[in-house]
Structures are given as structure tokens and as C-alpha cells.
Chains A and B, each alone.
Chain A
Amino acid sequence: MEPIAAPESIDLIALAPVLVLTVFAIGVLVLDLFAGKSKILLAFVSLVGLLMTAISAFAKLNLPAHSFNDSYIVDHLSIFFILIFTISSALSILISIDFNNREGIKAGEYYALILFCTVGMILLASSTDLIMVFLGIEIVSICLYVLAGIRRNDIKSNEASLKYFLLGAFATGFLLYGMALMYGATGTTNMLKIAALIKSGSVNSEPLMVMGVVFLVIGFGFKVASVPFHMWAPDVYEGAPSPVTAFMAVGPKAAAFAAFFRIFAEALPDVSSAWETLLYVIAVLTMFIGNLGAIMQTNIKRLLAYSSVSHVGYILIAIMVKNSLGSASLLFYMLAYTFMIFGAFGIVIILGKKGNENLEIEGYSGLGFKHPMLALSMTIFLLSLGGLPPFAGFVAKFYIFSAAISEGYIYLVVIAVLNSAISFYYYLKVVVFMYMKDPVGEFKISASPITLFVVAVAVIGTLELGIFPDPIISLAHP
């Protein structure tokens, strides 16, 4: 066991995004004491904080930069992820403002929690040390447990929170166990050192290593909701307030994938025989069960939850690719996914009203001719999720598929492609209700300009990434 050295120098510029965001998060908490009843100021301050974070992410010129004894890294991967996190957090704050007013959620800590969660996400995406990964995951998870149950007097929200907490704690146990085994096998928690040790063949114990890898897969499997560890997702997604659901489906998941990618593709590529087959099977099952589950749903939030399970299956393929093409396609996919999911949830929120969130797909009947723009936007998001050109989802899938084919995973891609075809069925089901069924009852649209703005941003993002993806691709794959 090597002695733990004191940190020599801490590169503050590299840490800037985390520092800025933490300051703002604490600031929001303090401000809450003086904010009175209206919490809009808090939301505004949070947005400024996120903007500053995004800007400070680009402060570091020499990439990659390491900090804290090589346990924290700034490279293009982490910078891009910070971009995704800030965008998703900002969008979820924006769609929360109106929703919180309507549903009477007056908790000031709501926005602070989102910011703290984002801090955890940045740590996750930037850590090159297993302990750091664990810290990041815990920060993210604890914030999410609270956020999921923030509607205190709503029984479904409570259930979601409790379920998420219990299963999340379980998953954390697996993760920690896996990390401990990894430490036992290599004598270090630093990913770069683990990679070097494996390469030089000086691993203490192969079985410990393999066990560690398997436990890590299980732990991350819970966190990203891959089959068979996805059971919590539909219930939690359904019970949590819609903006939180959207947030959970994008930001924290992206962060978990970032860590997933770093550990498996960057630290453990040389023992890929231990995890490749496992991930292969998990990816295939995730795609199929996610899609088949989604087909049966009548509730829009559950449908989106199952569909997000299936998307996890596609993203797992990117991790298996293990090279820069894999990381680039992962980045692109997560960004595209951010816009699609926030757009879709934005519409779900707009169509809901207090006490009745209008979550049954049947409630969307006839929307196409009553509110053409809303229906058109929803159609764009759904078709994009299905992977139809010329939308972001298509380019994202194309990217992942080409990364996989370049590594020879042709059968896996064929399976993924067939799953895309299945997914069209349930995405189209929503379109069928919007355009091809007669309306049941009146639509009461409670759209605040802010929520509409989020939808507009999402439409623009979905089209931009679908039609002119070049700048983002070159950012993801420098």
C-alpha cells in the first residue's frame, strides 16, 4: 500500500467550475432566508450561477490538467460534460419556476439542491479516482432523494423518494464494495494507476479484480437504470415532480455515464474481457425490456421512463467502444438527449394543471389541431427520440452506431437498430393520439412564457444538432 501524500498544489483554475457553483449554491441557500414568498429570485440567481460555471469551465487552457494528486481531471470530456450539466440544470430550473408556482412547491432549497446536485455531477465527470467518484455519486444521489420527494404532501412523490432512497443506498453499497475489491486487487484507487498496473500485469489478484468489475457494473447499472436494475425508474419517474423527473433522466444519468466511461474505458480497457460480455448482455436486455415496457404504458411519464431505459441501452454501446469515438458519441448523445427530454417534459408540464397533471396519453387526443405548435414540437421530440432524421436523435444514434461498427460490433448495432424500429411504435402512439383521435374534453393550457421558452430552446437544439451538428461534433471529438 502506498503512503498517502499531501497534495502538493491545488490548481484552482481547474477547479473553478466546482468552486463557482458551490459558492452560488450556498448563496442561494442563504438568500432563501431573505427571499420571502416568491422564489423567482432564487431561480434567477441559480441560473446566473450555472452560466458562470459554464463559462469558467473554459478557463483552463492547457488540457488535460490534473489536480488533487491526479484524482481530478480537466479534459475535453469533463468540459463537455460540464456543458451538458449546466444546460440540463438550467433547463430544469426554468421549467420548474412555473410548475412550482402551480403545484405550490414553496421550498427555497429546491434550487439550491439542483445546484448542489450539479456540483456532484461535475465531480463525477471529472474524477480519476474511485473515492472521488464515490463522493460525486453520493452528493448527486442525496440531492435527488430529496428532490424526488419535494412534494411533501403528495403520496406518490413520497413513495418515489423512499423507493429511490432504498434502492439507491443498495446500489451505493455495491459500488463501494466494488471499489474496495478493486483497491484490494491493485492497491490504489487512482484510475490511471489502475490502468498502468493492469497493463504491466502486476495485479495482485485476478479474481478480486473481476469481482470488483462486476460489482461496479451492478452499482452503475442501478444508477443509470439499466436492466435488470431498472425497476425503480418508472415508479420514481412517475412519482417525482415532472421537472425533477426530466432533470433525473438527463443530468445525473449523464454524470453516472461519465464516471462509467472513465472507469471502464479509461481505467479498465485491458481487462475488457471481464466486462465486455456482461455489458453486451446488459445493453441488449436494456434495449429490449425498455422498449417492450414502453409499448404497454398509458401514462406519458412512465412511457418516457421506459423509453429512457431503452436509451440507456444505446448509450452502453458507446461505453463498450472504449476509444475516443466512443466518448465523443457518448457526449453528443447526452447533449441531444438533454434537449429532447426537456422538450418533451416541457410539453408534459404545459399540458398539466394543478392537481391533474394530464398524464394519460389519452389526454393528448386532438392536440394536433387544437394547439398545432405544441403538438408539432412534441412530435419533433418524440420522432427525435425514436431516431428519425433530420433531428438530433438520429445524428446521435448514427454517431453511436458508427462508433460501434468501427469496433466491429455489427450484430449489436443490428439489434439496436431493430429496437429503434420497435421504439417507433410507442413514440408514434403519442403522435396517433395527438393527430388522429378526436379530443376528449377541453385543453386548459397553463403555459408560462418561461416554460414555452424552454420548449422553444429544446426545439432549436433538437433541430440544430440534427441539421448542423458539425460544431458540436468537433467539440466532442477534438
Chain B
Amino acid sequence: MFLTFLTFLPLVGAIVLAFLPKENESQIKQTAVGFAAADFLLSLQLWFDFDNTTHAMQFEYSTSWISSWGVSYHVGIDGISLLLFVMTTFLTLISIIASWDVKKSIREYMMAMLALSTGMLGVFISLDMFLFYVFWEFQLVPMYIIIGVWGGPRRIYAAIKFFIYTAVGSLLMLVAIIWIYFLVKEQTGVATTDLLYITEHLNAPLDVQKWLFVAFFLAFAIKVPMFPFHTWLPDAHVEAPTAGSVILAGVLLKMGTYGFFRFNLPMFPHASNEFLPFIAILAIIGIIYGALVSLVQEDLKKLVAYSSVSHLGFVMLGIFAFNHYGMQGALLQNINHGISTGALFLLVGMIYDRRHTRQISEFGGLAKVMPKYAICFMIVALSSIGLPGMNGFVGEFLILLGIFQINGMWAALATSGVIFAACYILWMFQRVMFQELKNPKNFKLPDMNLREMITIVPLIILIFWIGLYPKPFMKTFDASVTHLITKVDPDNFRPKKIETHHAALIQQDDLAKLNKKLQGKKQ
């Protein structure tokens, strides 16, 4: 029940906010922060209590929901979802603090943020496909409203695009879910949408597996977003308010990669192996394309948005390496991207608040007027590039190590993405922070205030913590990754040529011996 409590606590907060008077803004903000902070602190308890020696689901709770269809309310958490869960509560808190200055309808804004949090947390704990789908779709609405109401000038276009893109993908997933439901019912006689049961018992022929894989793949690839399904992302990111972008990059995109871990790989291991090259190549294209497009952006936020396409390409590549290094790297990079890109969006938001522009050309020499800001930006930018000692390095290194074991060429191509990342980030940093302080509007910009520091500093601490001592993080998903790898191990699906060859050899040996014996007897 603890998981359920943690998941719905923000929603309760949203309902409480609805009854607060609209005028009392500080009370509204304090209540929102209170609920988010409570949720975050309590979710840390999950991490402490988590047993990382097993891949089994923990904190499980299951009760019948729509019993006529075999749908249950089944929740639980394992190494793959634990950190994502905690990161969601964490980033929700950070984003709510970062939204302190929202002017328009602050109460409704906070309500949307908290409701969004419940939707996202629900996605990570659902162990029933129906339940998963409900949460998956549910979080669309608050995000749509956040972009559409509090976003930039083209917000309505961006919000609708975001919604329709995701809806198209996830509706096909719905068809696949129903199909799987009947497949399992046919094979085992049990009508259920329980994810663990289905993962265990689904035994579809390869061609069916492929269709199902594609349906799920579309839903998740749009969310990730993989090239070429990424076009909604820059629009959504650029138009979303700062906190919306943080949540989008930090959590929503992770729901896509999480989907691959939870659905595609364990349920369709054979199809996953078949699609491996295809997805790996898409991921590599994403890495290089995202980086190259970032290189030419004039708008800071767009630059960070496209860099997400590149970074998420790494995560996808790591997942589809199907080995320990790759998958661990992918899971860690999931978290890293949430932290680094979340921080980048926060920082971009800060200067946008001051100057109401994000054009790189408008800035220059900011390091002189905003030294604290420049230092924070520097650290976050370097972490995004993947400098050793910081979080990004560990993740990318593991991923590249993993992919190298499969295909050296892919690893080499992916590595070029790291180099491009250094180019666009450092070049951007140089244009914004250094050079001459020319624009008079920038002469008297205030440096970061205390509230802004509160949002950034925890992220910076995490950047160094993961960079220097990633063990506590890696440990949590170790058992789960090991288990998953045995499922998708290509050896399970390889035609057993070698063994038959052996058998033939043995037979021949036996025949020879037999012949010898017979000959001996004759003599």
C-alpha cells in the first residue's frame, strides 16, 4: 500500500489545492511544495528499504479491479523502476520550486503539476497492462494543459502535436495489449492482464511477436523520442514553461525507455533480437542527427531539446546492446539525462526569466555579471558532455563498452556523438558566457537568487555523486538487469547448429569405435 500512497499523494495534494482560495498565492505554493516534498522524502524510504539482491518485485500490492476481465490493480517496483520512481518525486519537487514565479493561475498550475506527478509515478509502478495504459494516457492530459496554458507563443500547436503524437502511438499499443490478452487466454486459459503472468506465459510465434513488438515500439519510440519519431519534442520543449520542460526531459521521455525494459524485451525477446540492428541503427542516427542539429540552433532551449534526441539515442543503444554494460549504462544514463538536462532547462529558464529571450546571439559575457550562474552552468554543461568525474561519463562509457562488444563500428559511430556534444555545448557556452559583454541589456542582470540555488544545487550534488561514486545507483538495478539479460540472451534463439554438429561428430566417433571393435572380433 505504501507505493499506492506515494503515487496518489500528489493527486490528493491537487484536490486539496482546488479548495484553497485562489487569491492566497503563498499558501497555494506552500501547500504544493509541502505535498511534493513529503512525497519525495517518503519515496527515499523506498530506496532504503529496497532489497537489491533480487530481481523480484518489491512492495507489491495486488487487488482485483475489473474482475470480469481479469484486470487487477497490481503495483510493485524493481531495480529498473525504483530510481525512476524516486527521480520523479525528486524532479516534481524541484519543478514546483522552480515555478515559484508563475504569474497566471498559479493554483491551477500547481494542480496540474501534482496530477502529472501521480500519472508518471503510476506508470512506473503498474504491473498490470490495463493499469499501465490508464496511467500512461492519464499523464498526457496535465502535460497537455501545462504546455497549452502556460507555454510560449506557439503553445497550442505544440500541445496538440504532443498529445496527438503520443496518442497515436499509445492507441496502437492498446490494440497490442488486447491481442496479447487473448493470446495468453488461448494458451493458458487464464484471462488476465497481469504483466508478470503474461511475461512469464506469453509464448507467441515469431511473426506475431514482431507485430506486437512494433506496436509497443511505436508507442515507446515516440515517447523516447527516437529518430524519426522525434519531431514533436522540440516544439513541446520550446513552448513548455521551464518546469514543464524539466519534467518532459527528466521523466516523460524516460517512460519510453522504461517501456522497452518492462514490455518489449521481456515479453518479445525473440523479436527484440530480430529488431536489434534496426533499432541500433536508428539510435545511432538519432545520436548523430540530434547532435548535428543542436550544433546549428540559435535558441538555447531548442539546443537542449535536440541534445535530448542525441542523449536518448545513447540510452536506446545501451538497452539494445543486451549485455550487462549496455543495459546498466542505459539505466544510469536515464537518470543522468534527467538530472543534467533537467538542470540545463532550469538554467535556461533562469535567463529567460531575466531577459525574455533565449536567442544565443542576445547574450555574451554573462560570466562577468552572473558568476554563480556561470559556474553552475559550466558544471551542468560539462556533465552533459560526459566529462570524467561527472555522471554523464559513467553512463556513456558503459553504453559504449556494451555496444562495442556487439559491433565495433556502431560503437565508433556512437562515440562521434560524444565529440559533437562537446562541440555544441562548449560552443554555446562560449557564446553565452564568455566573449565581450556587449549587449547593454545584459549589463545589470542579477545573479542567481537563493530559490534558484535551491533548485540547482541538489542536481549538481547528484552530478558529482553519480560521477564519482555510482555504486549505490548501479547496485539497485544490478539484479534486475542480470535477470533481464538471461531473458533476451540471443543464445536462447539461435538455431542449435553447433550442438547438432557436435552430435554428428559424436555419432561418427561411435561408429568408428564400433567398426574397430567389429574388425577386432573378426581378426
Contacts and interface: CB of A to CB of B under 8 A. Distances in A.
A473 B64 CA distance: 14
Interface string B174-217: 11001101100000000000000000000000000000000000
Contacts of A390: 134, 138
B175 A413 contact: yes
A383 B141 contact: yes
Contact of B182 (A369, A405, A414, A469): A405
Interface of B: 18, 65-69, 105, 108, 130, 133-134, 137-138, 140-141, 144-145, 148-149, 155-156, 159-160, 163-164, 167-168, 171-172, 174-175, 178-179, 181-182
A474 B156 contact: no
B142 to A, nearest CB: 11
Contact of B174 (A372, A383, A401, A432): A401
Interface in A137-190: none
Q: Interface majority SS on A: helix, strand, loop or mixed?
A: helix
Interface string A460-474: 000000000110011
Given A388-B137, A402-B181, A428 B175 contact: no
Most buried by B among A389, A406, A425: A389
Given A383-B141, A401-B178, 19 more contacts: A368-B108, A388-B141, A389-B137, A390-B134, A394-B134, A405-B182, A410-B175, A410-B179, A413-B178, A417-B174, A418-B171, A420-B167, A421-B167, A421-B168, A432-B156, A435-B145, A469-B66, A470-B67, A474-B68
A402 B141 contact: no
A88 to B, nearest CB: 24
18 contacts: A389-B137, A390-B134, A394-B137, A398-B130, A398-B174, A402-B69, A405-B182, A413-B178, A421-B168, A424-B167, A425-B164, A428-B144, A428-B160, A436-B149, A470-B68, A473-B66, A474-B68, A477-B68
A390 B137 CA distance: 8
A401 B108 contact: no
B178 A388 contact: no
A386 to B, nearest CB: 8
A424 B159 CA distance: 12
6 smallest beta-carbon distances between A and B, as pairs: A389-B134, A417-B171, A421-B168, A473-B68, A402-B178, A436-B148
Contact of B178 (A405, A425, A470): A405
Interface in A381-436: 383, 388-390, 394-395, 398, 401-402, 405-406, 410, 413-414, 417-418, 420-421, 424-425, 428, 432, 435-436
Contacts of A477: 68
B133 A417 contact: no
A368 B104 CA distance: 13
A90 to B, nearest CB: 27
A178 B448 CA distance: 79
A395 B193 CA distance: 14
Interface of A: 368-369, 372, 383, 388-390, 394-395, 398, 401-402, 405-406, 410, 413-414, 417-418, 420-421, 424-425, 428, 432, 435-436, 469-470, 473-474, 477
A335 to B, nearest CB: 15
A429 B65 CA distance: 33
Contacts of B69: 402, 473
A406 B69 CA distance: 13
B155 A436 contact: yes
Given A428-B144, A470-B68, A473-B66, A436 B171 contact: no
Most buried by B among A388, A413, A418, A421: A421
B171 A421 contact: yes
Contacts of B182: 402, 405-406
A435 B104 CA distance: 12
A25 B46 CA distance: 63
Contact of A420 (B66, B156, B171): B171
A311 to B, nearest CB: 16
Contacts of A470: 65-68
A421 B164 contact: yes
A420 B141 CA distance: 15
Nearest to B172: A417
A473 B68 CA distance: 7
B68 A424 contact: no
B108 A369 contact: yes
B148 A435 contact: yes
Nearest to B168: A421
Contacts of A473: 66, 68-69
B178 A398 contact: yes
B97 to A, nearest CB: 24
A114 to B, nearest CB: 33
Given A425-B160, A473-B66, A418 B168 contact: yes
Nearest to A369: B105
A389 B133 contact: yes
Contacts of A402: 69, 178, 181-182
Nearest to A408: B182
B108 A389 contact: no
A390 B134 CA distance: 6
Nearest to B66: A470
Most buried by A among B155, B167, B181: B167
Given A389-B133, A389-B137, A469-B66, A405 B164 contact: no
B108 A372 contact: yes
B243 to A, nearest CB: 17
A474 B67 CA distance: 9
A168 B295 CA distance: 64
Contacts of A405: 175, 178-179, 182
B107 to A, nearest CB: 9
A389 B171 contact: no
